[in-house]
Amino acid sequence: MERYHPSEVYELFVRHMNTPRVVVDSGVCATATLVQVHSARKHGMLLEAVAALSEHGVCVRKGYISSDDGRWFMDVFHVTDAAGRKVADADALLARLESSLSAEALPRAAAGGPAAEGLTLLELVGADRPGLLSEVFAVLHDLRCNTVEARAWTHGGRVAALVFVRDEETGAPIDDAARVRRIESRLRHVLRGGARCARTVLADPSAAGNLDRRLHQLLKEDGEADSRGAAPMTAVAVQDWGERGYSVVTVSCRDRPKLLFDVVCTLTDLDYVVYHGTFDTDGDHAQQEFYIRRSDGRPISSEAERQHVIRCLQAAIERRASEGVRLELRISDRRGLLAYVTRVFRENGLSVTHAEITTRDDMAMNVFHVTDVAGRPADPKTIDEVIQRIGTESLRVDEERWPRLCSAEGDAAGRGGGGGLFSLGSLVKKNLFSLGLIRSCS
């Protein structure tokens, strides 16, 4: 029988007493599926709901957050599938949300990650450079570590990666102390360079939680948000509404998948509570407005704090805006596959900016975003040569795009340079508390 810590038992009891109520309705709106979440106030509950939507693969087109500033809140989301249609399987979406928000979903669950059993988690942070991921996977292969799952992001000259490995021969987790030290030593050598120290951490996979959230945390802890030199492409403003004791955060940028998650995740990890909010899309442009306070109930109190929030939000939004050509690899898994594929990229002058490695039933289903070594768009001839070398049946360019609302076309900087931000109080002007918004899709 599994035993829980007393604090977990108490949280389980509280969540049973305040089980969120979830409604998924495809009949209210002509163009989207409506999702409503009613729950007792709990810090992080909004993030759990948004994360569940993100992991289900739906796009949040618009919605609002309403709270009585006391014990209860209601979130309303208008969602579609990637093609901009209503969600086909509303029952599956409802089941995922209920499972994610239920009392049994204890914090130890690794939502969005692989099954933790039998794996060892490596957390890698360091200075980015062309070919770095190729060297990481080569070292792991040399040390007889089989990479089962991995995600890697690069931004602001830094790289963060979560790599789940097991022993190549036995399939068991790697827990021998001497071997662990050898792995850490080799990887620290690979991650050398940069103004800040590179580091690797062998962690308990069950502590990873949502992998995207952990990558945000690693890059934030690394100071990447405060060290960027390039001008941000995302317009973020933080204003005071002293009359009601709120700080008002507004975001104006290009729409894309998981945008709402990245913003809510950042605010939550910065220890702010969202009391009210609206989010909407217009064409391929997104606007969001959140009324927040710190967890101690106070608004942002200094210019330094305000600027820190702005920088963290801009970094969180931009670090997922994957640069480069998206390549999808689907092939039978084998020893050294990742080391081989990433070496082919490196030898052809391609640099991996984002990677998502997945292994299911002995099949490798991997996604890479690649540029040239200078960060510019890769030469199509080079891409063709790489595809020919790895295999035209296994590697392909993903030319499908998210629909108009999430398209990658147009000038990303043009809409994010400061125009289009909400004015203070616009949330009130839109009558947030009117239930008529639930039926409005225009």
Query: For 286-299, what is each residue's pLDDT tens digit?
Result: 999 999 999 999 99
Which DSSP string do the residues of 397-432 spell out, in sequence order?
E------GGG---S-HHHHHSSTTPPPTTHHHHTTT
How far is Cα 409 from Cα 70, in angstroms, rounded to an integer? 43
∠ CA(282), CA(287), CA(291), 5° rounding?
145
How far is Cα 279 from Cα 78, in angstroms, rounded to an integer? 10
What are the sequence ranges of the domains in the chain? 6-107+234-320+417-439, 120-226+321-397
Exposed / middle / buried, residue 403 (Cβ in 10 Å: 0-12, 13-18, 19+): middle
Strand bridging mode 59-67 / 272-282: antiparallel
How far is Cα 136 from Cα 142, in angstroms, rounded to an integer? 10
Confidence of residue 442 (pLDDT cuts 50, 70, 90): very low
Residues 6+ apart with CB under 8 A from 136: 124, 161, 163, 187, 190, 191
pLDDT of 72: 80
Confidence of residue 417 (pLDDT cuts 50, 70, 90): very low
pLDDT of 224 higher than 90? no
Alpha carbon of residue 67 to chain centroid: 25
Q: Position of tokens 């509280």?
A: 14
pLDDT of 158 higher than 60? yes
**Angle at which helices 259-269 and 45-56 pack, to 10 degrees?**
150
Helices (H) and strands (E) in the chain, counts: 12, 17
How far is Cα 165 from Cα 146, in angstroms, rounded to an integer? 5
| Least confident window among 25-29, 189-193, 326-330 | 189-193
Confidence of residue 418 (pLDDT cuts 50, 70, 90): very low
- Token pair of 169 as six digits: 């021969």
| Least confident window among 12-21, 160-169, 294-303, 333-342 | 12-21
Higher-pLDDT residue of 127 and 118 is: 127
240, β-bridge pairs: 247
CB 323 within 8 A of CB 353: yes
- Token pair of 216 as six digits: 């945000």
Q: What is the pLDDT of residues 30-78, one digit of tens each?
A: 899 999 998 877 788 899 999 999 988 899 999 999 887 667 888 999 9
| Number of residues written out for the chain | 442
Nearest to 370 by CA among 361, 380, 362: 380
- Token pair of 426 as six digits: 């616009």
Give the range with max mean pLDDT: 153-157, 326-330, 434-438: 326-330
Q: What is the pLDDT of residues 427-440, one digit of tens each?
A: 444 544 443 333 44
Q: Which CATH architecture has domain 120-226+321-397?
A: 2-Layer Sandwich (3.30)
Give the range with max mean pLDDT: 24-28, 135-139, 411-415: 135-139
Q: Which helix (H) or strand (E) holds 346?
A: helix 337-347
